[in-house]
């Protein structure tokens, strides 16, 4: 069993981004990532701070717009429109989840697709699923890059993705299919999930249930990617029961230190991509 080390690889990616940013800034303004956070969700605040820190390490500018829990849909969309029109802003991120009274899908689709750093607007997702997009949601991108880093084959492999969110499940399923894997997408209504998962050469798990996937879901020699981040009694646990699964795997991601750091690194890449791509398209 070999660990898929996302932490060390993310450092490589961020160093590469920093070098590209410094080169880019010799002739263009420094790219800026604007992040909107609504309310007082502690986990979201931690994530936003990590993104600010990553921007600093990559020589990118960052701006955080913190809105109160009481923010209305209209007020949120007005703030997004301000950032859309601000030429100093290269990329916009709406930190999820939003408070329950807000419609995240509608808000996301108010973001100018040219500044949609998480690739979640209908326009960018349409391009992704059609197979003609140059970038993808950060977590899905990070998963593919990590597997490629370890020279894991995709073509002809049986890949199973558990979880159908746009941010992870559907996006990584599309990218795996584009890499010529045969993909099965499982979700809460899937019957015989254990049987399906146990046949996977590549198993990606993003369901938000701590230690849900045990050794019975895993094929001998499978590659297991655990996207889950669950806080339980002060500990961070993945969706995979790591200790009971690891000996069956050829490769497995740890939690923390697997997919999470790559999500942030790929966010930095996407920010630079949007800044440079938008210049080319003008």
How far apart are the C-alpha atoms of 84 and 106, rounded to whole Å?
Answer: 15
HEC-encoded secondary structure of the chain: CEECCHHHHHHHHHHHHHHHHHHHCCCCCCCEEEEEEECCCHHHHHHHHHHHHHHHHCCCEEEEEEECCCCCHHHHHHHHHHHHHCCCCCEEEECCCCCCCCCHHHHHCCCCHHHECCCCCHHHHHHHHHCCCCCCCHHHHHHHHHHHHCCCCCCCCEEEEECCCCCCHHHHHHHHHHCCCEEEEECCCCCCHHHHHCCCCEEEECCCCCCCECHHHCCCCEEEEECCCEEECCEEECCECHHHHHHHEEEECCCCCCHHHHHHHHHHHHHHHHHHHHHHHC
Annotated catalytic residues are 51, 95, 118
For the chain, how many residues are written? 282
Q: Which of 180, 153, 185 is nearest to 168 (CA)?
A: 185
């Amino acid at each position: 069993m070999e660990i898929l080390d996302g932490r060390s690889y993310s450092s490589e990616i961020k160093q590469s981004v920093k070098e590209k940013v410094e080169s880019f800034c010799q002739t263009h303004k420094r790219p800026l990532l604007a992040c909107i956070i609504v309310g007082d969700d502690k986990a979201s605040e931690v994530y936003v701070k990590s993104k600010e820190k990553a921007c600093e390490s990559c020589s990118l500018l960052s701006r955080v717009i913190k809105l109160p829990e009481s923010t209305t849909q209209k007020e949120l969309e007005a703030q997004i429109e301000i950032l859309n029109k601000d030429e100093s802003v290269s990329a916009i991120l709406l930190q999820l989840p939003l408070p329950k009274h807000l419609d995240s899908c509608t808000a996301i689709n108010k973001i100018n697709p040219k500044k949609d750093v998480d690739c979640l607007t209908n326009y960018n997702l349409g391009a992704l699923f059609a197979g003609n997009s140059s970038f993808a949601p950060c977590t899905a991108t990070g998963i593919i890059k990590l597997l490629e880093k370890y020279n894991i084959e995709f073509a002809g492999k049986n890949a199973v993705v558990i979880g159908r969110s746009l941010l992870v499940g559907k996006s990584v399923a599309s990218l795996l299919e584009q890499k010529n894997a045969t993909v099965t997408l499982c979700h809460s209504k899937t019957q015989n999930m254990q049987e399906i998962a146990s046949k996977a050469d590549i198993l990606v798990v993003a369901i938000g249930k701590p230690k849900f996937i045990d050794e019975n879901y895993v094929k001998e020699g499978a590659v297991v990617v655990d996207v889950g981040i669950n806080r339980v009694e002060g500990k961070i646990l993945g969706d995979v029961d790591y200790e009971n699964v690891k000996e069956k795997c050829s490769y497995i991601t740890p939690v923390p230190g697997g997919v999470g750091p790559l999500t942030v690194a790929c966010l930095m890449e996407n920010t630079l991509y949007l800044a440079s791509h938008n210049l080319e398209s003008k």
